[in-house]
Amino acid sequence: MNQIRSLDQLITGLKGAPGARVVVAAGHDPNTIGAAARAVAEGIAAITLVGDAERISELCREMGLDAAGFTIVEEPDPVAAGRTAVALVRAGEADVLMKGLIPTSNYMKLILDRQDGLLPEENILTHISVVELPAYLALQDKLLFVADVAIIPAPDLPTKVKILEYCIAAAHSFGIAEPKAALIAATEKVTPRMVATVHAAEIRDMAARGEISGAIVDGPLALDLALSEEACRIKGFTSPVAGAADILVFPNIEAGNVFYKSSTVLSGGRVAAAVVGTSVPCVLTSRADSEESKFLSIAMGCRLAANQPRRN
């Protein structure tokens, strides 16, 4: 598989492949329906909408869409719709779960339910975003995989290792054979006063010992050293990762979330995102996210699902 270097290439690469089966929890939401309809039209997914069937049909009429393009499962209550959607995944009838109008807290509770959820006991739940930044695309001709920006507030050392491993697996699914992973901190110097630098150095050493495989790992790295070859030249900093990272693992949710929102609000970035660690990729988007962002996240979920055993 060739490396996917842009989100447009992500879509192109999915066309003609066996489409993933996506089930949407509480799918009676205009942006979600619009994104789902585009996924069907592009031939990248088969979509099941679990939700208020009358409202779904009404929205399709208003948007000029053919509701027959979806499989619709009637369940007007959002939480019950989420429960039904998760059950379809567990029954092997869907490869990707997506959030619709169900509240995020309820969506996450269903995923995390010990008996009927989607999180294997040995795994953690984390959120990976694939970011297309115009400036970085121009310089390096590639995407960035970043985590965690939405779920884990203050990951400890073992959790950061898991996050890194999930990011490596996601990068592999995009055709990156040996991604360059940067463990982000405020400085490249290791100091006990900044736990992020200590964690980064420990994870770097784990990778050097072969305890983490599939990527070139370095840290701690300040953000400019991870992404800017010019900054590395000016500071005289050398590293096999510096200036050309594929993966950014952030020290905490504040750093990751600020990067994520700065990328989209200020830098014109395009983003796809999914929750991983689960038995299938789970698309978690905000009600405020655009139709395009939801569509790209469906595509990311389909790409990740293609590298997992099909559940049937």
Does residue 214 lie within any of the structural domains?
A: yes
CATH number of the domain to which 107 belongs: 3.40.50.10950
Residue in this structure with the two tokens 């790409």, named with its chain if needed: 303
pLDDT band at 286 (very low <50, low <70, confident <90, very high): confident
Looking at the structure, tell me whether residues 170 and 255 fall in a common domain.
yes
| 129 half-sphere exposure, CB direction, 13 A CA radius | 28
Q: Report d(CA 57, CA 83) in Å as an integer.
A: 21
Q: Report d(CA 286, CA 231) in Å as an integer.
A: 34
Does residue 17 lie within any of the structural domains?
A: yes
CATH number of the domain to which 227 belongs: 3.40.718.10
Q: Report d(CA 101, CA 94) in Å as an integer.
A: 19
Looking at the structure, tell me whether residues 155 and 200 fall in a common domain.
yes
Give me the domain span that covers residue 216: 128-265
Looking at the structure, tell me whether residues 170 and 284 fall in a common domain.
no
Looking at the structure, tell me whether residues 52 and 73 fall in a common domain.
yes
Spatial CB neighbours of 256, under 8 Å, sequence gap ≥ 6: 146, 147, 148, 149, 150, 250
Q: What is the pLDDT of residues 246-284, one digit of tens each?
A: 999 999 999 999 999 999 989 999 999 999 999 999 999
Looking at the structure, tell me whether residues 98 and 174 fall in a common domain.
no
Looking at the structure, tell me whether residues 47 and 81 fall in a common domain.
yes
Looking at the structure, tell me whether residues 27 and 84 fall in a common domain.
yes
Does residue 272 lie within any of the structural domains?
A: no
Looking at the structure, tell me whether residues 116 and 26 fall in a common domain.
yes
Does residue 270 lie within any of the structural domains?
A: no
Q: Report d(CA 249, CA 228) in Å as an integer.
A: 16
pLDDT, position 24? 97
Give the helix/strand (H/E) hosting 58.
helix 53-63
Looking at the structure, tell me whether residues 51 and 145 fall in a common domain.
no
pTM of the model: 0.94
Please count the structural domains in the chain.
Answer: 2
Q: Report d(CA 94, CA 86) in Å as an integer.
A: 9
Q: Report d(CA 193, CA 296) in Å as an integer.
A: 40
The percent of the chain in helix, strand and coil, each rounded to the nearest 5, is 45, 20, 40
Does residue 105 lie within any of the structural domains?
A: yes
Looking at the structure, tell me whether residues 107 and 158 fall in a common domain.
no
Looking at the structure, tell me whether residues 65 and 148 fall in a common domain.
no
Q: What is the pLDDT of residues 176-217, one digit of tens each?
A: 999 999 999 999 999 999 999 999 999 999 999 999 999 999
pLDDT band at 309 (very low <50, low <70, confident <90, very high): low
Does residue 1 lie within any of the structural domains?
A: no
Does residue 99 lie within any of the structural domains?
A: yes
Looking at the structure, tell me whether residues 61 and 92 fall in a common domain.
yes
Does residue 197 lie within any of the structural domains?
A: yes
